[in-house]
């Protein structure tokens, strides 16, 4: 019989659902990184469903890849915590798109936050200052640059068009994309930075995207641009971001992901001005894990039937 290990914070709840859908499968659960290596050795599963929740412990990648598992299904879209892997030994799938709608709301919410100057309004309220000449900005007159037109990026393009924004974006193989006015390769970013009023970073973490947005990129951006990062830690050079914000070369930025998570209390980025910091939660909403489990259950049905799996990830492309 096929054995499946469910690695989430509350695996038994998911196992109950999955057992009902797949009574021919043996399920077991694990709720921590610390216990995962021993559980893998004891249970010897064929399949692992795993959530990479934020913790001080590193993800036990080596234990997973050396366990003899045939298929790993990650509960989110990012798979860099597994990379690299040998596709002849193991198949990795993700839940791309599971939180796209929530992440789009996060991006647009952050853009609106800075467009209506919530930080300034908050300061005025604290000081009881009434600025009659204060202006707010409309997204409808602005250009949105989406770095990475994956599931989230493409949905963001659609929603941004509802605000009347001009949308330009990048993808590995540029082609006409719905709701995008222009689509370019990432090599064109030096020409695109100066055109954007809002930049949404949605690209996966790859060797080619590490440090993608650094001092050179910031120097080319408009002085009142808003940068919103919902990709992965390392894509934005955090030291360069602190420098740009401190020198007022950005109107504002929102960072949901960081090179080190949890973000240390003594990290200098906490002090950066005009910066929203969130704890890698742009994709976390009530019910997201249940939605991801549903996607996994459908894919498990394909696996048991010997059919091609959905959302298979290429370790070179990262998606």
Q: Using omega within 30 degrees of 0 as the cis cutoff, is the peptide bond preceding 84 cis?
A: yes
Q: Taking Cα atoms as reference points, which of 62, 221, 30, 77 lies closest to residue 143?
A: 221
Say whether the peptide bond before residue 150 is cis (omega within 30 degrees of 0). no
What is the reported pLDDT for 77? 86
Residue predicted with more confidence, 57 or 252: 252
Q: 151 falls in which pLDDT band (50, 70, 90)?
A: very high
Q: How far is CA 183 from CA 29, 93, 126, 149, in A?
A: 43, 26, 43, 9
Q: Could you tell me if 251 and 274 are in contact, meaning their C-beta atoms sit under 8 angstroms apart?
A: yes
Question: What percent of the chain clears pLDDT 90, i.e. is strictly above it?
Answer: 90
Q: Tell me how far the alpha carbon of residue 152 is from its chain's centroid.
A: 8
Q: Show Cβ contacts of residue 35 under 8 Å, excluding neighbours closer than 6 positions.
A: none
Vertex 212, ends 199 and 249: CA angle to 5°? 50
Taking the C-alpha atoms of residue 16 and residue 258, their distance in angstroms, rounded to an integer, is: 34
Q: Which residue shows structure tokens 């992901």?
A: 257
Q: Has 261 been annotated as catalytic? A: yes
Chain position carrying tokens 């002849």: 88
pLDDT tens, residue by residue, 56-100:
788 999 999 999 999 999 999 889 899 899 999 999 999 988 999
| Given 105, 182, 243, 261, the catalytic residue | 261
Q: Which of 14, 232, 238, 289 is catalytic?
A: 232
What pLDDT score was predicted for residue 80? 87
pLDDT tens digits, one per residue of 172-210: 899 999 999 999 999 999 999 999 999 999 998 888 999
Residue 202 CA to residue 257 CA, distance in Å, equals: 11
Q: Provide the 10 A C-beta neighbour count for residue 193.
A: 20
Stretch 103-125: mean pLDDT: 97
Contact (Cβ atoms closer than 8 angstroms) between residue 114 and residue 136 = no
Residues 91 and 47: their CA atoms lie apart, in Å, by 10
How many Å apart are CA 8 and CA 14, to the nearest integer?
9
Provide the pLDDT for residue 317. Answer: 81
The pairs formed by 108-111 with CB atoms below 8 angstroms and a separation of 24 or more are 108/139, 108/156, 108/159, 108/160, 108/163, 110/226, 110/228, 110/254, 110/276, 111/139, 111/144, 111/198, 111/226, 111/228
Q: What is the mean pLDDT of residues 9-32?
A: 96
- Tell me, yes or no, if 81 is annotated catalytic: no
Query: pLDDT per residue over 22-60, tens digit each?
Result: 999 999 999 999 999 999 999 999 999 999 887 778 899
Measure the CA angle with vertex 265, ends 261 and 269; round to 5°: 80
Closest CA to 25 of 51, 50, 43: 43
β-pair partners for 161: none
Is 184 one of the catalytic residues? no
* Confidence band for 243, pLDDT divided at 50, 70 and 90: very high
Q: Rounded to two decimals, what is the model's pTM?
A: 0.88
From 151, 251, 280, 289, active-site residue: 280
Does pLDDT of 219 surpass 90? yes
Mean pLDDT of 101-109: 97
Give the 3-state secondary structure of residue 145.
Answer: strand
Separation in Å, CA 82 to CA 90, 101, 126, 249: 11, 25, 46, 36
pLDDT (mean) for 262-285: 95
Q: What is the pLDDT of residue 192?
A: 98
């Amino acid at each position: 019989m096929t054995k499946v290990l469910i690695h989430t914070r509350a695996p038994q709840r998911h196992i109950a659902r999955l057992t009902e859908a797949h009574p021919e499968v043996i399920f077991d659960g694990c709720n921590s990184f610390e216990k995962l290596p021993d559980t893998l050795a004891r249970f010897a599963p064929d399949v692992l469903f795993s959530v990479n929740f934020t913790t001080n412990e590193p993800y036990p990648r080596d234990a997973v890849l050396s366990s003899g598992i045939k298929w790993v299904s990650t509960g989110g879209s990012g798979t860099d915590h597994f990379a690299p892997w040998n596709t002849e030994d193991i198949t990795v799938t993700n839940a791309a798109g599971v939180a796209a709608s929530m992440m789009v709301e996060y991006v647009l919410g952050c853009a609106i936050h800075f467009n209506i100057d919530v930080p300034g309004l908050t300061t005025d309220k604290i000081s009881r200052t009434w600025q009659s000449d204060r202006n707010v900005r409309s997204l409808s007159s602005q250009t949105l640059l989406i770095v990475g037109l994956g599931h989230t990026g493409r949905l963001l393009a659609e929603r941004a068009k509802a605000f009347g924004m001009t949308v330009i974006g990048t993808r590995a193989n540029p082609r006409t994309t719905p709701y995008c006015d222009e689509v370019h390769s990432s090599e064109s970013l030096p020409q695109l930075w100066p055109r954007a009023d809002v930049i949404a970073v949605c690209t996966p973490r790859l060797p080619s995207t590490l440090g993608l947005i650094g001092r050179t990129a910031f120097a080319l951006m408009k002085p009142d641009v808003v940068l919103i990062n919902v990709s992965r830690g390392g894509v934005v050079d955090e030291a360069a971001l602190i420098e740009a914000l401190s020198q007022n070369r950005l109107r504002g930025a929102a960072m949901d992901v960081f090179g080190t998570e949890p973000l240390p209390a003594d990290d200098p980025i906490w002090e950066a001005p005009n910066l929203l910091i969130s704890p890698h939660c742009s994709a976390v909403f009530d019910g997201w894990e249940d939605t991801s489990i549903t996607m996994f259950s459908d894919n498990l049905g394909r696996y048991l039937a010997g059919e091609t799996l959905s959302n298979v990830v290429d370790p070179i492309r990262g998606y």
